[in-house]
Amino acid sequence: MLSSHLTAPADGIDSDRIVNTAFLDDYHKCQICHSVLWKPVACKTCEKPYCKTCIDKWLNGKIEKTCPNRCKYEERNCSPLTSTLLAKLEISCIYKTDGCKQILLYDSLERHENQCDYQGKECFGCKQLYPKNFLRQHEQQCDMIKFFCYLCEEDIFQREFSQHLSACLRCRLETMRTEMVDMINKHDNNIKQRLKAAENSQIELNQHMKNLEKTISSTQKNTFYTQSAFWVLLILVIVLFFLGIVLFLSVHDMKDEVKKLSNNYGDMKDKVIKLSNNYDDMNAKCDQRNKLFFWQ
């Protein structure tokens, strides 16, 4: 269902769209487009009203700005009378041929036509014009519309999209499953390696513990030997000490003995000297006796 209009017209309104034609006369018309005035402005000199777009087109490119009445053109608002006359007009919607039955007053025409459900809108697939209220229905079936698949990042025709999506989703899920399995295997290997390393560490630790136990027991033995040697040495020292005392006492006694012997020796010496003297005396006496005996 092709629409005849894309947007509301910018120039004047066709006279055949006016419903209450009895009101229509030349005051309503633009001298340039000969249609009913649309958004009119006026020439300040001749006071003739023109559609704003018509007079702008008329003046465009002209060096000397003159209105169609050949007077110097200076723009002003159109007269209140013109506005009042225009406001009384009843006009059919521009999308009448597309099905719109609305008849509107001049002042509400633009607002309606901007929102009219029958205005032509372009289908974003096939670029054809459709009435606004039909466009949605058309776009749901349009063969030219493509949807973007976020899974494979490709544009897919609307008619194939749901089929594509389920296939794409399955494919994606399969990929994810494979990735997950890979990831789990990787983690599994990682955990196994760590367990192996932990076991090795445990073995090393046990070895260290054994070595430590050995060291401790040998240290204990050494300590025992050292303690034994200490006690033996102490006993030896004590024994030697007592022996020393005994020796000292013995030496002391022997010293006394020697002293006594020495004294005895002195006495004996004196006695020997005395005896010797006595012997000498005796000897002398003997000699005297002998002499006497001889002389007799």
Cα separation, 79 vs 56, in Å, equals 19
Among 54, 78, 91, 129, binds Zn ion (CB under 5 A): 54
Min dist. Cβ of residue 1 to Zn ion (A)? 11
Please state the closest distance from residue 22 (CB atom) to Zn ion, in A: 22
| Stretch of 167-175, 213-221, 251-259, 281-289 contacting Zn ion, by CB under 5 A | 167-175
* Residue the block writes with tokens 């006796």: 289
- Residue 223 has φ and ψ, to the nearest 5°, of -60, -45
In the complex with Zn ion, which residue's Cβ is closer, 97 or 190? 97
Q: 258 to 277, contacts with Zn ion by CB under 5 A? A: none
Site for Zn ion, residues 96 to 155, rule: CB under 5 A:
100, 102, 116, 123, 125-126, 142, 149, 151-152
Classified as helix, coil or strand, 127 is coil
Q: Which is nearer to Zn ion, 23 or 158 (CB)?
A: 158
Is the Cα dihedral 239, 242, 244, 250 positive or negative?
negative
Contacts with Zn ion by CB under 5 A: the residue count is 25
Name the residue nearer to Zn ion (CB basis): 65 or 266.
65
For the purposes of burial, counting CB atoms within 10 Å of the CB of 287, is it exposed (0-12), middle (13-18) or buried (19 or more)? exposed
Give the binding range for Zn ion (CB under 5 A) out of 88-96, 201-209, 262-270, 280-288.
88-96
| Of 30-38, 178-186, 187-195, 261-269: span binding Zn ion (CB under 5 A) | 30-38
And the tokens for 251?
A: 């030496």
Is residue 64 within 8 A of residue 76, CB to CB? The reply is no
Q: What is the contact mask toward Zn ion in residues 10 to 29, using x (rule: CB under 5 A)? A: --x-----------------
Place of tokens 């509107």: 104
Tokens of 89: 């007009």
- Paired tokens of 229: 């040697």
The answer to whether 9 contacts Zn ion (rule: CB under 5 A) is no
Cβ partners under 8 Å of residue 239, min gap 6: none
**Phi then psi dihedrals of residue 220, to 5 deg:** -60, -40
Q: Which two tokens stand for residue 3?
A: 């629409």
Nearer to Zn ion, 108 or 228 (CB): 108
- Least distance in angstroms from the C-beta of 198 to Zn ion: 45
Cα gap 30→68, rounded to integer Å: 11
User: Which residues of this chain interact with Zn ion, rule CB under 5 A?
Assistant: 12, 30, 32-33, 43, 45-46, 51, 54, 67, 69, 71, 93, 95, 100, 102, 116, 123, 125-126, 142, 149, 151-152, 168
